[in-house]
A and B are shown apart, each in its own frame.
Chain A
């Protein structure tokens, strides 16, 4: 008799029959019935109606039956909380069972039942199980604490389970240690500020000992935890590395990758002159290569990680090119990733082999792969100058195949080659022009148009070619339209006599008949330039272009550093920080590599940029190929990338130089009369993502903006939790008054009215200074923006954390509650500047134990910029000194409740890490003041 029959019962009245069977006296029949119930549950049928009957079967000495009933309970307890109580008794009894397997089973299952009343009863048994004599029960109980924390964090803290869990790190059994580490790491993620894991050299030593003894999974938990530790100096880092390296020989790839993560992170702290550094580099390559003989899915994970490692430390795998050669029957996702890494590793030494391979790939079947291979040939040409000639001839061969997508890709890359090596390969233009008709993809069309415009003087019929595109101007994509506009203007500047008509045609098409603001604006700028000063126009439009960099698709350095800290995890597979794909606050703590802190020698500035690409050059990168796989994953919002904005924005070819130059004069000339559509204000809202937004950023950075830094609005209350009302907001302080800028969105289907707001008592007495005024009813899908003025005279109660604000919002539907953290700098008052004498006296007066030190990392500003930026947020520089090449800023600020905070900020030129010492009579605010510094300086 087989169990598969349970999947086939689909008759009517089934539930009724099952009920009868469940209540049968015969044990066997009962068990059969429960099996049927579980089978129905699996395929998605609702069998919750059988709840009481199934729970009745729970009291049994048949373990198999018991487990089935537990499985049912875990699924349906939430829907029937009152009935679930019936099970509590059995659970509590089972927790006392002499058999450790049953005790563990009970506590494991109880933790999975998310019903408040059950959790209450869980506490006592759990406490006992955490101290059980049997390690199997303890390791199960350790995980159960994490479960309970997920249901009710407060309860776990109140009951003191966290301390018991911490004690388990010193348990004699390695598996208990591993599970305790896993549980603590998870809990710590939701309390980023708390020092829950409390890693110190002693506890690290314990973990390293357990590492040798526990299961493969336990080793992963421990290694992942180790990776979040920052050793105090290079010696400690080295000794941990030494004890982690044996893991590189583990059969489990995840153990290997987690070990690689620890090593990559701690290597950052080691001096490059150290012998050990070289040894470590050599040890890393073989295990990474071995990962490529794993199953394809793991290969994929490994390759995505190797892609990061190669960018961070190219020296590790520079001799291993061959292992990345594509095998004929690799799955497509492995092929594409290998290709990516091949391009990164290509160098003069191996270019011949690589090219031979790429040529081979370009004849394969898979379209995406072939395209990428063709692009790769172009990348090689740009990267390795010696190979450029061979690459170009290979590309021409490929164009001769006349395979449509191959031709288009080839043209796109040849455009880049032209830019990299001007006046060298233009002889092939004629061949390219032959293929004009077959181009149907925007990118290829745009590339071809760029080539025609750029080399208009060498192409006799350039005007005819461009004119042919003009006929269907409005059907083209924006990319092509913009390129066409620029190309024709170039042509006009080169051959003004015969193309006047053409240029007028395109300008009017762009400015009068287009709805696209980008296109319109560019049209107006050209028009204005051409009509006022043709010489200037020539200088701007035909200016020498910046060289393009050798590397493309490089991950922006700070993001790369963050991703290195996430080796092995999903973030490293997506190449996105966890905040881009993880909901809520869980696991979105920003991680960064440790700075190098040598124990003996002088401190060197940590390396952030990968070799050969200092951040400045980033600006010149032409972002060509979109990562094909990346696009697949782009279902989410793009990651909030910090750093030079140009490097990540999609710069159109030629847009930077043109608009950059064009707008400078535009802003510089106040009496300039804007063309009809008023270009300037329109730009502010236009999603240009190019030179324009940067220009405006610059002006605001100089200090025209009064008032302190304002964080972007964050969602405070998701629509799901508030019956369709979504609230996002931020806090501002402008000209001495604080306000809460709210954005209310109605995502429900009914109209919302009667809004009101109230705050709970809080640390600084924040309260609304006026009622919440929503003038009209909020209809579905509508959004309103409201600025709610706040005062600080409300009643005061210390909150935890200090800057927590609990808010209640009412509307005609219900009352909703949420809490948010306000940045402390909104409380910094305008008269917070202390005079020098006073500062000195106060500094001395405040006891030293009130002093708190913080490090502000990765802040590229110099002392002046820091000072002026802080000042706009009411942090005042009282004095400035230069001590041994370091800039010391002495600063003061005052909070709305009259508390003074004094600060000493130490800035070393060239080192992006600042030291901040804070002194205050109420030391609990220091942490938050530090955070305010962070936000102000980093945004």
Chain B
């Protein structure tokens, strides 16, 4: 199990050091600093073995978090734990920075004592932790309160406390998708997938039982067996989900057997599910590059983008990034729409368009002057990448329902105000040129 946990600043000074196991000595702190933080070359692996001691690290801005062990631990668990640790810290004091860590070091030690016992991760849900790790000390809690805390921390529904009350029962569902594409210069899709998340913000009283439904092909087809005309009505409306994962509140065995998604949600915001689709993806934009080398000192680039969705919808925050060689001396750009600039520090032409409706087309052309170099190595021609945001789900996912039942309190599914929003963003959306 985890033998110790250290947090360093960018210089390698220790900000937090907590040792859980006897086999980890103080020298481990220095070993990591010398061999990883101060190492000359780039980090070649997130797991480092130094003198039979293994170090796992993650970096958040310029803060290093390192877990240390001498045993054959579950490596995936250690990384998941480090991420969780970052989430918990962020939930308590915001951004993970040297300043914030130093200001909250007592709190961090208290958290580390609670969420890691002898190197074994314990309940690390912020919802539960915030009920008793408050930095205020335990103030004369009543016996009921205390047992409520402990039963929540150890209970089956560790992520929600009892007795939550809202005057207005409300919930928000965000379907957030990032669409990823790798396209060849000839327009052939090399790989494309959507990774999506359903994020829920719930402000519901009591212990509500929720059921979430979407146009999952498997579910639709199952239901469709009875009513044949409904399948034809829904037609191509359903989508094939390659794989999905759920927040720990979702009953996985129920999903496995009936493919229904039922859960008691945590209070406030959480990520209900993640999913991935690869079939029938709507690619919101198509990029058509044309690069011509004119002699040794000049490049001509022309890039056309085409929007491919309903004309009534608007895409926003469109940005096309066209890489330029390192020996670029000057660039001249002409674009039909938006603004384009050559950014020498980033070795790229950045073309920005605020809004663009569906089924439109726009174009940019640039002349790139190059300095003659002796460098034999050819320019690697990194791909042209694109950023955008569209108000629909490129996977085609639709929320069909989210039902709320709370038998103990007197509000019904109809009384809950529900909001659904779809946002599609570019993930890694690249076209080779």
Using CB atoms and an 8 Å cutoff, list the residues of chain A in contact with chain B.
Answer: 2-4, 6-7, 35, 38-39, 42-44, 62-64, 67-68, 70-71, 75, 98-102, 108, 111-112, 114, 134-137, 139-140, 143-144, 146-147, 150-151, 173-176, 179, 182, 186, 212-217, 220-221, 224, 243, 245-247, 249-254, 256-258, 286-287, 289-290, 293, 295-298, 300-302, 322-323, 325, 327-329, 331-333, 353, 356-357, 360, 363-365, 401-403, 566, 568-574, 578, 581-583, 586-587, 629, 632-633, 635-636
Query: With contacts A135-B150, A136-B150 known, is A251 near B118, CB below 8 A?
Result: no
Known contacts A215-B123, A254-B77, A293-B274; 10 additional CB pairs below 8 A are: A42-B16, A44-B17, A101-B146, A108-B113, A136-B149, A286-B276, A300-B47, A301-B76, A568-B75, A629-B45
From A71, which residue of chain B is reached at the shortest CB distance?
B109
Cα(A100)–Cα(B245), bound, Å: 35
Q: Are B71 and A293 in contact (CB under 8 A)?
A: no
From B121, which residue of chain A is reached at the shortest CB distance?
A217
**Chain A residues, Cβ within 8 Å of B158:** 175, 215
Cα(A43)–Cα(B138), bound, Å: 29
Cross-chain pairs A/B with CB under 8 angstroms, 8 sampled: A67-B109, A67-B113, A101-B138, A112-B118, A217-B124, A287-B245, A298-B79, A581-B52
**Chain A residues, Cβ within 8 Å of B19:** 75
What interface size band does chain B fall in?
35 or more
Q: Are A251 and B45 in contact (CB under 8 A)?
A: no
Cα(A108)–Cα(B114), bound, Å: 10
From A215, which residue of chain B is reached at the shortest CB distance?
B123
Q: How far is the CB of A666 from chain B (nearest CB, A)?
A: 42
Q: Let me know if B190 is at the binding interface, CB within 8 A.
A: yes
Query: With contacts A71-B113, A143-B118, A147-B118 known, is A570 near B102, CB below 8 A?
Result: no
**Chain B residues, Cβ within 8 Å of A633:** 45, 49
Q: Are B76 and A217 in contact (CB under 8 A)?
A: no
From A217, which residue of chain B is reached at the shortest CB distance?
B121
Q: Are B190 and A297 in contact (CB under 8 A)?
A: no
Q: Are B52 and A636 in contact (CB under 8 A)?
A: yes
Mark out the residues of chain B between 382 and 433 whose CB falls within 8 Å of any chain A CB in the assembled complex: 382-383, 385, 428, 430, 432
**Chain B residues, Cβ within 8 Å of A43:** 13-14
Q: How far is the CB of A435 from chain B (nearest CB, A)?
A: 14
Cα(A247)–Cα(B252), bound, Å: 7
**Chain B residues, Cβ within 8 Å of A247:** 252
Q: Let me know if B304 is at the binding interface, CB within 8 A.
A: no
Partner of A298, one of B80, B273, B378, B430: B80
Q: Are A246 and B248 in contact (CB under 8 A)?
A: no
From B105, which residue of chain A is reached at the shortest CB distance?
A3
Query: With contacts A42-B105, A246-B255, A286-B242 known, is A566 near B72, CB below 8 A?
Result: yes
Cα(A179)–Cα(B121), bound, Å: 10
Cα(A144)–Cα(B242), bound, Å: 43
Q: Are B245 and A42 in contact (CB under 8 A)?
A: no
Cα(A325)–Cα(B255), bound, Å: 31
Q: Are A44 and B248 in contact (CB under 8 A)?
A: no
Mark out the residues of chain B between 159 and 209 whose CB falls within 8 Å of any chain A CB in the assembled complex: 182, 184, 190-191, 193, 195
From A3, which residue of chain B is reached at the shortest CB distance?
B103
**Chain A residues, Cβ within 8 Å of B56:** 297
**Chain A residues, Cβ within 8 Å of B385:** 328
Q: How far is the CB of B273 from chain A (nearest CB, A)?
A: 8
Residue with the greatest number of chain B CB neighbours at <10 A, chosen from A176, A186, A249, A633: A249
Q: How far is the CB of B309 from chain A (nearest CB, A)?
A: 24
Contact with A along B228-261 (1 / 0, CB 8 A): 0000000000000011111110011101100000
Q: Are B195 and A293 in contact (CB under 8 A)?
A: yes
**Chain A residues, Cβ within 8 Å of B195:** 293
Query: With contacts A63-B137, A64-B137 known, is A139 near B381, CB below 8 A?
Result: no
From A321, which residue of chain B is reached at the shortest CB distance?
B191
From A221, which residue of chain B is reached at the shortest CB distance?
B120
Q: Are B71 and A253 in contact (CB under 8 A)?
A: no
Q: Let me know if B296 is at the binding interface, CB within 8 A.
A: no
From A176, which residue of chain B is reached at the shortest CB distance?
B154
**Chain B residues, Cβ within 8 Å of A635:** 49-51
Q: Let me know if B331 is at the binding interface, CB within 8 A.
A: no
Mark out the residues of chain B between 133 and 156 whose CB falls within 8 Å of any chain A CB in the assembled complex: 135, 137-138, 141, 143, 146-147, 149-151, 153-156
Cα(A402)–Cα(B376), bound, Å: 8
Cα(A147)–Cα(B20), bound, Å: 10
From B123, which residue of chain A is reached at the shortest CB distance?
A215
Q: Let me know if B380 is at the binding interface, CB within 8 A.
A: yes
Partner of B120, one of A136, A143, A298, A302: A143
Ranked 9 nearest A-B pairs via Cβ: A286-B243, A4-B102, A136-B150, A254-B76, A246-B256, A254-B77, A578-B72, A246-B252, A297-B46
**Chain A residues, Cβ within 8 Å of B58:** 295, 297
Cα(A568)–Cα(B75), bound, Å: 6
Contact with A along B44-65 (1 / 0, CB 8 A): 1111111110101110000000
Q: How far is the CB of B402 from chain A (nearest CB, A)?
A: 19
Q: Let me know if B104 is at the binding interface, CB within 8 A.
A: yes
**Chain A residues, Cβ within 8 Å of B124:** 215, 217
Q: Let me know if B110 is at the binding interface, CB within 8 A.
A: yes
From B72, which residue of chain A is reached at the shortest CB distance?
A578
From B98, which residue of chain A is reached at the shortest CB distance?
A4
Q: How far is the CB of B250 from chain A (nearest CB, A)?
A: 8
Q: Are A325 and B256 in contact (CB under 8 A)?
A: no
**Chain B residues, Cβ within 8 Å of A63:** 137-138
**Chain B residues, Cβ within 8 Å of A325:** 182, 190-191
Q: Are A146 and B191 in contact (CB under 8 A)?
A: no
Q: Are A365 and B380 in contact (CB under 8 A)?
A: yes
Q: Are B76 and A298 in contact (CB under 8 A)?
A: yes
Q: Let me know if B349 is at the binding interface, CB within 8 A.
A: no
**Chain B residues, Cβ within 8 Å of A301:** 47, 75-76, 79
Partner of A182, one of B120, B153, B276: B120
Q: Are A212 and B252 in contact (CB under 8 A)?
A: yes
**Chain B residues, Cβ within 8 Å of A329:** 428
Q: Are A586 and B137 in contact (CB under 8 A)?
A: no
Partner of B147, one of A100, A146, A403, A578: A100
**Chain B residues, Cβ within 8 Å of A572:** 75
Q: Are A570 and B54 in contact (CB under 8 A)?
A: yes
Q: Let me know if B374 is at the binding interface, CB within 8 A.
A: no
Q: How far is the CB of A563 from chain B (nearest CB, A)?
A: 11
Q: Are A569 and B75 in contact (CB under 8 A)?
A: yes
Q: Are A300 and B118 in contact (CB under 8 A)?
A: no
Cα(A64)–Cα(B69), bound, Å: 28
**Chain A residues, Cβ within 8 Å of B147:** 100, 134
Residue with the greatest number of chain A CB neighbours at <10 A, chosen from B79, B110, B191: B79
Mark out the residues of chain B between 296 and 348 whose CB falls within 8 Å of any chain A CB in the assembled complex: none
Cα(A144)–Cα(B149), bound, Å: 21
Q: Are A570 and B73 in contact (CB under 8 A)?
A: yes
**Chain A residues, Cβ within 8 Å of B381:** 363
**Chain A residues, Cβ within 8 Å of B156:** 174, 213-214
Cα(A220)–Cα(B1), bound, Å: 12
Query: With contacts A38-B109, A114-B22 known, is A216 near B248, CB below 8 A?
Result: yes
Q: Are B49 and A574 in contact (CB under 8 A)?
A: yes
Q: Let me know if B117 is at the binding interface, CB within 8 A.
A: yes
Q: How far is the CB of A531 from chain B (nearest CB, A)?
A: 49
Q: Are A245 and B256 in contact (CB under 8 A)?
A: yes
**Chain B residues, Cβ within 8 Å of A179:** 117, 120, 122
**Chain B residues, Cβ within 8 Å of A332:** 42, 44
**Chain A residues, Cβ within 8 Å of B49:** 574, 581, 633, 635-636
Q: Are B154 and A136 in contact (CB under 8 A)?
A: yes
Cα(A365)–Cα(B377), bound, Å: 10
Q: Are B45 and A101 in contact (CB under 8 A)?
A: no
**Chain B residues, Cβ within 8 Å of A39:** 105
Cα(A401)–Cα(B102), bound, Å: 52
Partner of A254, one of B45, B74, B132: B74
**Chain B residues, Cβ within 8 Å of A215:** 122-125, 158, 248
Query: With contacts A64-B106, A212-B252, A569-B72 known, is A111 near B120, CB below 8 A?
Result: no
From B430, which residue of chain A is reached at the shortest CB distance?
A328
Cα(A363)–Cα(B381), bound, Å: 9
